[in-house]
Amino acid sequence: MKQTSFAEMRCSVARALDQVGSWWSLLIIRDAMMGARRFKDFESSLGIAKNTLTNRLKELLDNGILKQVEPENGSKYLDYELTEKGRDLAPIIMTLAQWGDKWSVHEDGPSFELRNKRSDEEISRLWPRDHDGTAIDLADVMLSREGRNGQETRTIAPEAGGLNDD
């Protein structure tokens, strides 16, 4: 699926992508977050070829994103479960879902809803914020990174607006 390893790149985005593995892997992680635990759960949710699924699951185990645990139902196969590192991918899945619902909505309407279990309120878009929780305009977000030509600093979306302009 992927011709080049991004692991040796200094950039954290590239390193995150390398650890996750592939598009399919993100959907496997999404399904694990939705309670899939067994090979058959992932297979039936994704409609994916068995050997592709086997390879993707192995990669996620090797990278410490999934782990194998005793099965819940006495099956002879081990179940798959997200590790702490895997659960911590939730903000990535959520930002993808929120973007998809905004820009590529299905004819039947949005497919995702995120709610706070305690208040039953819908959860806002994941967005850059100050430590006090105030949303920041994208135009005010400065990103510094180690690029091929040393340290680079940039306003990432100079023409963009704030959370409420959406």
71-100: contacts with a copy of itself (CB under 8 A): 82, 84-85, 87-100
Choice from 18, 38, 55, 78 touching a copy of itself (CB under 8 A): 18
Residue 73 or 104 having the CB closest to a copy of itself: 104
CA dist 16 → 61, 82, 116, 142, 154 (Å): 15, 16, 27, 20, 21
d(CA 26, CA 1): 14
Binding mask 38-77 vs a copy of itself (x if CB under 8 A, - otherwise)?
Answer: ------xx--x---x-------------------------
DSSP-assigned letter for residue 4: S
| Residue whose entry in the numeric block shows the structure tokens 């309407």 | 109
Q: Does 104 bind a copy of itself (CB under 8 A)?
A: yes
Smallest separation, CB 76 to a copy of itself (Å): 25
Which residue type, as a one-letter code, is found at position 114? Answer: L
> Residue 134's Cα: distance from chain center in Å?
23
d(CA 166, CA 164): 5
Strand partners, 67: 81
Choice from 6, 39, 61, 78 touching a copy of itself (CB under 8 A): 6
Residue 26 or 61 having the CB closest to a copy of itself: 26
